Each structure stands twice: as C-alpha cells, then as structure tokens.
Structure 1
Amino acid sequence: GPSVGGAGWPVDGRLLAGFGATMPDGRKSQGLLVAAPAGTTVRAAAAGTVVYAEWMSGFGLILIIDHGDGHMSLYAHSETLLRGAGDTVAAGDPVATVGSSGGHGQPALYFELRRGGKPVDPRPWLGR
C-alpha cells in the first residue's frame, strides 16, 4: 500500500486498508490499518482524555481517547499501552506501540475515528 504518515498521523507506515476497504481478515475497515514495525511509537492524533486502555476482543490491546465535541479515536492491536484510563494526553504524545495483539499476525496499527459514536473516515481529520 501507499506510504502514509506525517503531522497529525498516529504512526508512519504503509496503508494496508483505508476506510471502507476490506481488511486482511475479511472484515470491512471502519478506520485505517497502517503497517509499521513492531514497537513503533503510536502518538495521540489530538489532545484528549484516555477513556479505555486494555484488551478488547477483536482489537487486542486497544487505547481509546475522548477528544471532546463527540470525537473519539481508537488505537488497536498494540504491543504495549503507554497510558491508562483517566490520563490526559496532548497531540503527539506517545500512547502505545505498534504490535499484532488480537490481530492477523502482521504488526500494524488499526486507527479509527468516531464522531457521535459512528466511525468516519479519519483522513480529512488527520490532515488538518
């Protein structure tokens, strides 16, 4: 896939599946799946409060940040979680490391943006 990353992106890597695409496990992607080496630092896409940081079936080790105004971001299949629920984070703060927990074996970050509880394409939001 194409290389993605830069300012605002949680990780630099190769895009394995974009929003609405089919992921390697056959599920429809409601976010972005970005391949990167295991252990790569995952950064908060925006400031907010960590509301969940533990194992979730289908997502492996997942960290969820509430950004306020109805926006939440999810960082899944992590190798390690660097923050805990209740922590306040700034944009760009390390929150996790890339892994393959609960996933399909290839180290990758699954990133999802939800607005009002519904997944939306994160790309326009990441580029701002």
Structure 2
Amino acid sequence: MVNELDGLGVSLAFSADKNLQVNYLGSYALVSGADNVRQAVELRLHTPLGALALHPEYGNRLFAIVSDPLQDDFPVKAELAVRECLAGETRITVKSIGVNVLREKRTAQIMIRYSVNEDRDITETMLEVPYGV
C-alpha cells in the first residue's frame, strides 16, 4: 500500500535501466516514501544538467566537466557539481561526498552519503563516470 501521508511523495517507479515498471495488474508501478526519495536522487544524479527541456535547472553539471582533460582540481569540481545537483532535492541532507579518481580506468567514483529529512539512517549511493572522453 502506498503511503501518501509520509511527506515524501509518490512517483512512477523506474527500473535500473530507466524504464517504467509495470505491476502484476499491468498498471504502472508506484514508489513512495524513502524509496521514492532514493529513486529521485538517482534520477537527478544520472541526468545531465539541462537535459530536460521544461526543467533546464534539473540535473547534474558533472557530465559537462568529465569531458575536460583531468586536472588536479577535478575532485573539488566534481564534488561541487554533485552538491549543486543534490541541492535541488529538498527531502535530503547530504552528509558527505567523496571523489576517487581511478586514473588507470579513466573513471571517477563519487560516493554520496545522505539522510532523508531528519532520519538518522544514512543512505549511500555511488556514481561512476568516465572522464576525458
């Protein structure tokens, strides 16, 4: 049962490959509560800034800087881009962001820790992006 009174909202459910999910009745599946927030964070992090025509401020600026040549200040720029991206998600409090550059793989791993509203539980998610391509 979907709890609409938890203050975290209800949305259409998406699968890991960003397709809409269908429930056992053949209707679109819904996601609510903390799962809705987790999905919203994931979608926001994986959407390039400006990719949504009607919401040009939505998304992650990180995708604009990963094509630049790798400089020593990349971790700082990446963390700032992710913080700016997540500032639009008012249902969370970002606890920490760590950036690990894997030079041999030409990849950056960004570990994000956040809590939903005033909840004490910490949710962790990792965003992995190639750079310099």
Please say which structure displays the higher CA radius of gyration: 2
Q: What range is the shorter-chain TM-score in?
A: under 0.3
Which structure shows the higher helix fraction?
A: 2
Name the TM-score, length of structure 1 as normaliser: 0.26
